[in-house]
Structure 1
Amino acid sequence: MADMHHPDEGSFERMTSGQWFMPSVNEEVSAEHRRGFLLAKELNELQNTNPERAKEILRELLSPESEVPGLHTPLNVEYGCNVTIGKDVFINFGATILAQAPVTLGDHVMIGPNCSLITVGHPVNDHEMRAEGWEIAKPISVGRNTWFGANVTVLPGVTIGEDCVVGANTLVTTDIPDRSLVLGQPGRVVRTLEDNEDRWERQDLDV
């Protein structure tokens, strides 16, 4: 079981490099896991009433290279230290980010309510490995100016391009090219978003 394994089998290096790992056997990883949960608990208990304190917590929770996003809690996050967020990003209520591998959100990304970014998985065929607690993680990247509708789920190893729209309830299992409209379970590209398509929407803009 887990106490028979070497701590290196659960190291950050192993966890973030796409190898099988067991986080429970590495004290450094376990300590970071606990630290992140405590910060997320404090953040969520603010209930969106203290934006200045929320920014301070997010600076501690996310990677040193990350900007502080606009956010409506609750936020469910593991290993926020592996999450890097660009400028002017907004994350709506109920996001779940399991960042055993790096998660990167580009500038101006918008994440709708109850979206999930899941970098981690478990053995499918080897039941003993799964019972022991082995995991494997692959990074997720979302390009700038991309918008997720509500209840989008992104699975491990997926890269989503720039200027995409991912419709509500979509399950993204494969890479998505730039300027794609993605719908369905599993998600598929239904068309490419053209440069001039904003013009018809502006016809209804009364400013």
Structure 2
Amino acid sequence: MPTEKEKMLSGETYIPWDEELTADRDRAEVLQNELNEAKTREAQKKAAQRLFGHFGKNSHLRPNFRCDYGYNIFIGDDVDINYDCTFLDVGKVTIGDRTLFGPGVHIYSVNHPLDPEERRKAPVEYGKNVSIGHDVWIGGRVTICPGVSIGNGVTVGAGSLVTKDVPDNVLVVGSPAKIVKSFNKKE
């Protein structure tokens, strides 16, 4: 029978409060505190490499960063994550190279049953992966919902709510985010 962690990692419904997952979240909190309180970039980099599944070269992160586990977050090279970002990583969160995050960006890869009867039965949740391509700029206070994939070369306007997949090379804005401009070059 699979453990709750194995269920979480495979995207199945799981109970988050078992001993192993609680210990993993406690570990992540300690590492986040190290990361957020680091006095040098080198100390920050070492904490990030221990927290994340991958932390690319020349990537930077400003305080106060928060996540659930850390090990489900994969950050490419030359990524800049601004102040007060939260990446809830029950599902995998993958961020491509040269991606920029404004302050206060929230990424949610966790979901709960919509039916209140299901929520009353047990404290369950499930992950839905979030993927962000290369050369993306996510403006300040953007929220990215579970299961969303954002293509390469995308700009997401500040304050947007991204609820659906976004194709390559577009500008999206609003709540919910909608395409307002394409950056595709004519052949």
CA distance in 1, matches of 2:42, 2:101: 21
CA distance in 2, matches of 1:167, 1:129: 33
Aligned to 1:115: 105
Aligned to 2:144: 154
Q: What TM-score do you get using the length of structure 1 for normalisation?
A: 0.84
Question: What is the aligned-residue RMSD (CA, Å)?
Answer: 1.7
Is 2:131 the counterpart of 1:141? yes
CA distance in 1, matches of 2:107, 2:93: 8
Is 2:49 the counterpart of 1:59? yes
CA distance in 2, matches of 1:94, 1:16: 26
CA distance in 1, matches of 2:169, 2:73: 24
| Contact 1:155 1:173 (C-alpha < 8 Å) held by counterparts | yes
Residues 87-123 of structure 1, C-alpha deviations (whole Å, 9 max, x = no match): 1000000000000010000000001100001000112
State the secondary structure of the residue aligned to 1:80.
coil
Is 2:182 the counterpart of 1:192? yes
- Paired positions, count: 185
2:48 maps to amino acid = L
Aligned to 1:178: 168
2:56 maps to amino acid = E
Is 2:28 the counterpart of 1:36? yes
Residue 167 of structure 1, aligned match among 151, 157, 175: 157
Shift of the alpha carbon at 1:14?
1.1
Residue 21 of structure 1, aligned match among 14, 19, 34: 14
State the secondary structure of the residue aligned to 1:87.
coil
State the secondary structure of the residue aligned to 2:87.
strand
Shift of the alpha carbon at 1:182?
0.3
Residues 10-68 of structure 1, C-alpha deviations (whole Å, 9 max, x = no match): 22x2112221111212x22221111001110122223xx321111110010001x4315
| Contact 2:61 2:83 (C-alpha < 8 Å) held by counterparts | yes
State the secondary structure of the residue aligned to 1:74.
coil
Shift of the alpha carbon at 1:86?
0.6
CA distance in 2, matches of 1:131, 1:45: 39
Aligned to 1:202: none
Shift of the alpha carbon at 1:131?
6.4
Structure 2, unmatched stretches of 5+, are: none
2:129 maps to amino acid = P
> Of Structure 1 and Structure 2, which has the larger fraction of its residues in helix?
1
Is the alpha carbon distance of 1:187 and 1:35 closer, same or farther for their aligned partners in structure 2, counting shifts above 3 Å? same
Shift of the alpha carbon at 1:187?
0.5
CA distance in 1, matches of 2:10, 2:175: 28
Residues 145-173 of structure 1, C-alpha deviations (whole Å, 9 max, x = no match): 00011001000000000000000000000
Percent of aligned positions that are identical: 37
1:66 maps to amino acid = F
Q: What TM-score do you get using the length of structure 2 for normalisation?
A: 0.92
Structure 1, unmatched stretches of 5+, are: 1-5, 197-207
CA distance in 1, matches of 2:45, 2:171: 32
